[in-house]
Amino acid sequence: MTTQIKDERVSQTSFATKMLQRPELGALIGAGVIFFLFWSVDTTGNFAAIGGTAGWTDIAAPIGIIAVFVALLMIGGEFDLSTGVMVGTSGLMAGLLTTEYNLNVWVAIALVFAFALLVGFINGMVVVNTGLPSFIVTLATFFVLRGANLAVTKELTGTVRVANVEDSNGFDQAHAIFASKMMIGTSNFQVSIIWWILATIFATWLLTRTRFGNWIFASGGDKVAARNAGVPVNRTKIILFMMSSLSASFVGIMFVLRLQGMQAGQGVGMEFFYIIAAAVGGTLLMGGAGSAIGASIGAAIMGIADIGIPYALWDQDWRWTFIGVILLAAVLVNTWIGTKAKGAKR
Amino acid sequence: MRGRILDIKKLAVLTGVVALTLAGCAAGTDSDAGETASTETAAAETVEAVAVSDIKICVYTHGDGGTFWSVAQAGAEKAGEDLGITIDYQGSTNDSARQAATIEGAVSAGCTGVAASAPDPGAIEQAMLGLADAGIATVTMNSGSDVFKSLGAFTHVGQDEIVAGREAGYKFNDLGATNILCPIQEAANVGLTDRCAGARETSTGTVTDFNLDGGLQDLTAASAKIKAALEADPTIDAVFALNADIAAKAVLPAVQDLGRDIFIGTVDMSEDALNAISAGDIVFAIDQQQYAQGYLSVVLLYLNATNAHSLGGGLPMYTGPGFVDASNVEQVIGLVAAGTR
């Protein structure tokens, strides 16, 4: 067999440079540094152990499930501000259908998913047909749902929360699938973590291994050029909006089953956390580039901080400041590493 | 160009080395601390229930860190200081899912006892019962006076909202009020609707609920809405505000604008509200004494940990309603300014 002749005209990028060009690596390094930071100030001794891991994954999973799909949408060039309140709407709707109308939990879940897909479809249709910024359109949806959450709940129950969902038909099986716990070692891990991992794998596969994934990058990068190249930009965006709404309703169902009810204000405010997780993970705010794994890493960072701060016996109000700082730092580092790596192609 | 590749490689290697060094140092100190602590506790356990220095009381509420909850937190932390134990206070800002996750993590956080507020008992039920299984004593505070037993807590420390509303109703009767407006500034808070309901039970006049959701976030808008409600019904002669900031910064300006004779009573206190009581503009403030809610919860759990006490007799322990009016306002004013009332 002849030895392969190396073509000196073709330059080789080193493995390290190739890895550093990936948006996730900056986020992963950041996550590692933050983890070690909290490990070193931990007062309980449990932070880096099973107990602490169960804690931060519990907080990260519901953020991560939605953040990966919000990241896909952001790569596609759009924002969805209605995801947070959709968590509340979904949980409340499922709760009301089972407690006020005595529907089986599974039927309620199916109806809630259908509703979420409808809301996502409407978000998408309005954005592509009116040309309005998705920030505005989904902000409007956010307020519509926020008011409806309160008004409909009060109308049907007389109070502002739905309770006693655990008494409905099919609750136990649904609870086992969406809200149960697994004992690993000495701590309970939520099943939401498995759903988080599955969501990340699915979103990454969709983004990097399918034609649809290419369409996502194209729609976000330059939608006019994409359309001219034959990419169905409108259809792609509408599907992305539907996926982000569906992921939010999935988390809403998980919550209502775990909490055995839901407050009318649940979820409001969380929409920014999903966007921050995506941005920290390397997704550009202007679209066209990003990573679903990165969004999961961003969610993990938030979970680590939420557990690490009380474990360090710091005032938990610092959590907000911390999130602001990591957001800025992460985006700066990602941009810097990316530019350096891109510049060092040879 | 080669220089740039080396820079990136150097950076990656440097980061890795720094991170690993930090990990090594941290792992070293933590495992040492862990070992000494466990041998101490093992020795101490043969003498008393738990070594005082190891006690960590966790206070996990739904609070938002505002005027009201910062006082409750101050109470809990002062109790920790006075008793020489560690306190971990976390408020979930009305997010039930977050509060449930925090309570669920109490075992890993090393809590000896947990005090939790329960405005939404169903949400934290599984987490609280899990703590009972793990042998961690719990009490509920501030909200949950009728559900504490089903959550596995041995008592509740707080004020019953219906009782508070009833007492307010009596006060309004004494003033001769016939038509009372009850603005509710947090639509998702059943405790507030309970206060209005309690007042309705004992009032000889009518009590009307009024939706003022989001009032605390925008007090000027709230003031305008209240003024509109008062103008719409000229027979309203009293307002039962459910929060001190609402009373002093939304209701009072509206009433002064209209120039009508309207009695104002409120729940909870703030410096402005107390000054208004001093000046005679507000008649009374119901004080649920949340500093004591924080302080007492910690003391109850401390006594449980050190001397196996389960106090309360299976009933809630009330910290209110206390009334602050013209007769005692001067004394209380100094304490509110200090952040302890």
Same fold for the pair B52-159+290-310 and B161-287: yes
Kindly list the distances between the CA atom of residue A73 and the CA atoms of A316, B50, B93, in Å, as whole numbers in the listed order. Answer: 31, 53, 29
Phi and psi angles of residue A223, each rounded to the nearest 5 degrees, phi first: -75, -25
CA dihedral (A175, A176, A180, A186) positive or negative: positive
Residues of B in contact with A40 (CB under 8 A): 22, 25-26, 29
CB pairs under 8 A between A and B: 145
The CA distance from A72 to A292, in Å, is 7
* Inter-chain touch B126–A258, beta carbons under 8 Å: yes
Instruction: Give the bridge partners for A261, in sequence order.
Output: A163
Closest approach of A332 to chain B, Cα-based (Å): 16
User: Is B161-287 CATH 1.10.3660.10?
Assistant: no
Amino acid at B336: V
Rounded alpha-carbon distances, angstroms, from residue A113 to A87, A179, B317:
11, 17, 45
Q: Measure CB to CB from residue B187 to each of A160, A166, A346 and give the nearest one.
A: A160
Q: Is B308 on the interface with A (CB under 8 A)?
A: no
Instruction: Return the SS3 of B329.
Output: helix
* Residue B29 to residues A15, A43, A46, A53, B18, Cα–Cα distance (Å): 36, 10, 13, 19, 17
Quick one: how far is CA B297 from the chain centroid? 11
- In one letter, which amino acid is B98? R
Counting Cα atoms < 13 Å in the Cβ hemisphere of B333 gives 14
Per CB-CB distance under 8 Å, the chain A contacts of B15 are 29, 33
Q: Which residue has the tokens 């093992």?
A: B42
A314, amino acid identity:
W
Mean pLDDT, residues A215-238 taken together: 93
Residue A184: what pLDDT?
A: 86
Kindly report the CA angle at B326 between B324 and B330, in degrees rounded to 5? Answer: 80
**Within A210-344, where are the H helices?**
211-221, 223-228, 233-259, 271-280, 292-311, 318-343
> Does the distance separating the beta carbons of A187 and B107 come in below 8 Å?
yes
Strand partners for B240: B265
Q: Quickly state the pLDDT bin for A188 (edges 50, 70, 90).
A: confident
Percent of chain A with pLDDT over 70: 95
The tokens of B67 are what? 């005027």
**Which helix (H) or strand (E) is B114 found in, with range?**
strand B113-116
* C-alpha–C-alpha distance, residues A326 and A333, integer Å: 10
Out of A39, A62, A265, the one facing B94 most closely (by C-beta) is A265
DSSP class of residue A43 equals: S
Best residue in A33, A42, A44 for a mutation probing chain B (most B CBs within 10 Å): A44
Identify residue A67 by its one-letter amino acid code.
A
A133 shares contact with chain B (CB less than 8 Å): no
Taking the domains of chain A in order of start, what are their residue ranges? 53-323
- Quick check: A261 and B122 CB within 8 A? yes
For residue B97, list chain A residues with Cβ-Cβ distance below 8 A. 62, 255, 258-259, 266
With residues binned 3-state (H G I as helix, E B as strand, rest as coil), the percentages for chain A, rounded to 5, are 70, 5, 25
Residue B102 Cα distances to A31, A73, B36, angstroms = 21, 30, 27
User: What DSSP state is assigned to residue A165?
Assistant: G
Determine the distance in angstroms separating the CA of A236 from the nearest CA of chain B, rounded to an integer.
33
- Cβ-based contacts of A340 with chain B (< 8 Å): 4, 7-8
Give the pLDDT confidence score for residue A258 in this predicted structure. Answer: 93
Is residue B24 predicted with pLDDT exceeding 50? no
Going from N- to C-terminal start, the domains of chain B cover: 52-159+290-310, 161-287
Q: Is the pLDDT of residue B333 over 60?
A: yes
CB contact under 8 A, B90 and A258: no
Averaged confidence pLDDT in chain A: 90
| Residue written as token pair 């931060």 | A56
Which among A17, A49, A260 has the least Cβ separation from residue B8? Answer: A17
The whole-number average pLDDT for the span B31-40 is 42
Closest by CA position to A333, among listed A22, A61, A1, A26: A26
- Identify the closest residue of chain B to A346 by CA–CA distance: B1
CB A80 within 8 A of CB A139: no
CATH pick for B52-159+290-310 out of 3.40.50.2300, 3.40.50.720, 3.40.50.300, 3.30.1380.10: 3.40.50.2300
A residues 312-331 near B, CB within 8 Å? 313, 316-317
* CB proximity A104 to B under 8 Å: no
Q: How many percent of chain B have pLDDT more than 90?
A: 63
- What is the β-pairing status of strands B179-184 and B206-211? parallel
Q: Which helix (H) or strand (E) holds A206?
A: helix A192-209
Most trustworthy range by pLDDT among A1-5, B91-95, B129-133:
B129-133
CA B10 and chain centroid, separation? 51
Distance CA A247, CA A267 (A): 13
Task: Quote the pTM value.
Answer: 0.80
A164–B122 C-beta distance less than 8 A = yes
* Averaged confidence pLDDT in chain B: 85
3-state secondary structure of B341: coil
At B190 the pLDDT is 77
A316 interaction partners in chain B (CB closer than 8 Å):
89-91
SS3 B149: coil
Residue-wise pLDDT for A109-165, tens only, equals: 999 999 999 999 999 999 999 999 999 999 999 999 999 998 999 889 877 788 888
ipTM: 0.83
Q: How many residues does chain A have?
A: 346
Q: Note whether B94 contacts A: Cβ–Cβ < 8 A.
A: yes
CA proximity to A293, closest of A304, A306, A282, A302: A282
Distances (CA, A) of A232 to A215, A224, A286, A314: 8, 11, 19, 50
Asked if B90 and A316 come within 8 Å (Cβ–Cβ), the reply is yes
Q: Which residues of B touch A262 (CB under 8 A)?
A: 96, 123
Q: What is the dotted CATH code of the domain comprising A53-323?
A: 1.10.3470
Please check whether residue A164 touches B, CB under 8 A. Answer: yes
Give B31's contacts in chain A (Cβ within 8 Å).
45
Q: What is the pLDDT of residues B263-290, one digit of tens each?
A: 999 998 888 899 999 999 999 999 989 9
* Whole-number percent of chain B with pLDDT over 70: 85
- DSSP-derived secondary structure for B11-38: HHHHHHHHHHHHHHHHHHHHHHHHHHHH
Q: CA A213, A340, A302 angle in degrees (round to 5)?
A: 60
The span from the CA of B83 to the CA of A88, in Å, is 41
- Preceding amide of B321 cis, omega within 30: yes
Q: Tell me the pLDDT band of B239, cut-offs 50, 70 and 90.
A: very high
Nearest residue, CB atoms, A58 vs list B19, B65, B104:
B104
Encoded tokens for B274: 């107390």
* Closest residue by Cα to residue A334 from A275, A300, A277, A283: A283
Q: Which residues of A touch B19 (CB under 8 A)?
A: 32-33, 36
Residue B146: band (very low, low, confident or very high) from pLDDT cuts 50, 70, 90: confident
> Which of these, B109, B100, B133, B154, lies nearest to B301 by C-alpha position?
B154
Q: Is B88 on the interface with A (CB under 8 A)?
A: yes
Q: Is B66 on the interface with A (CB under 8 A)?
A: no
pLDDT at A327 over 80: yes
Q: Which two tokens stand for residue B275?
A: 């000054």
Condensed to tens digits (0 to 9), the pLDDT of residues A301-312 reads 999 999 999 899
